[in-house]
Amino acid sequence: MGYVAAMHGSPQSPPAAWERYAWAAGIVFVLALLAESVVATGIGLTHQESATAIATGLHAHEQRMIAIACISIVYAVAFVVYLWKLHLLLRGDPALPNDLSVLVLVGGVLFVTLHAVSDIGITGMMGARVASYSAAHDQGLSFSLYYLTYALDSVADVFGSLAFLAAGLSILRAGELSRRPGWVAIATAPFLLLQGFGLGGVIATFGLALDLVGFLLLLVFVVWTSLAGYRLASSR
């Protein structure tokens, strides 16, 4: 009888397992993002560096930039999977969907796309070829691309503020999750939005400080909701 029951129950097991694995993508996103940040700090450049210092510094850390691009591929894919599950959870009843969940999806896609262009596309390109060429022939090229990564990241976080505000309001409205991660998401939004006025530190240093606070709150929210979603999927 136990064998027969297991056979009858088996069609339900794979979907439940995959739903749990999908929520685990949020944890993968956070771990990859932290790893990418640790690798990036080793480059050691600041906004006050000259074009010569930036070009030379990037050339000296080409392998590090390639590593950043490779790790960023992991976080980008993981975040899209996490965002899909978060959108479905916050959408609620398909017959009466939560309109705010659309903002979560749109803002989240723009957020991760712009970050990926910066961290995968531009950083990977500099590590592979551009940094060495720029150090030898055109130092202004690395200088411009280096600041472009900050600009793209800043714009990404502006759209991210919309996604996390909508996510927080949706959580408070739906009541399926604890209200506390909803408040964390709402607290994240203004930091991600206001850093844009300093372009993440390029225009003014306050942008970098605000972005750091928003970044930390974002990580807390993603971990919290990933664990909560995993528990919900396990209980069904």
Position 4 scores a pLDDT of 39
CA dist 135 and 152 (Å) reads 23
The single residue listed with the structure tokens 């502006």 is: 158
Whether residue 3 has pLDDT greater than 70: no
The residue among 32, 52, 55 whose CA lies nearest residue 43 is: 55
Is residue 142 domain-resident?
yes
Query: How many domains does the structure of the chain reveal?
Result: 1
DSSP 3-state helix, strand, coil percentages of the chain (rounded to 5)? 90, 0, 10
Is residue 6 domain-resident?
no
Is residue 4 domain-resident?
no
Q: Give me the mean pLDDT over the 66-83 stretch.
A: 97
CA dist 16 and 27 (Å) reads 18
CA dist 68 and 73 (Å) reads 9
Is residue 11 domain-resident?
no
Is residue 3 domain-resident?
no
Pick the most confident of 47-51, 134-138, 201-205: 134-138
pTM for the structure as a whole = 0.88
Is residue 196 domain-resident?
yes
Range of the domain at 96: 18-235
* Other Cβ atoms closer than 10 A to 11: 8
Is residue 98 domain-resident?
yes
DSSP state letters, 45-77: --TT--HHHHHHHHHHTHHHHHHHHHHHHHHHH
Q: How confident is the model at residue 79 (pLDDT cuts 50, 70, 90)?
A: very high
Position 98 scores a pLDDT of 79
Is residue 8 domain-resident?
no
Which pair of tokens denotes residue 127? Answer: 């590590």
Q: How confident is the model at residue 1 (pLDDT cuts 50, 70, 90)?
A: very low
Position 223 scores a pLDDT of 97
pLDDT in tens, 116-175: 999 999 999 999 989 999 998 999 999 999 999 999 999 999 999 999 999 999 999 877
Whether residue 21 has pLDDT greater than 80: yes
Which pair of tokens denotes residue 46? Answer: 């600041």
Which pair of tokens denotes residue 180? Answer: 């506390």
Phi, psi of 98 (to 5 degrees): -80, 115
Position 10 scores a pLDDT of 42
Of 119 and 91, the structure prediction assigns the larger pLDDT to: 119
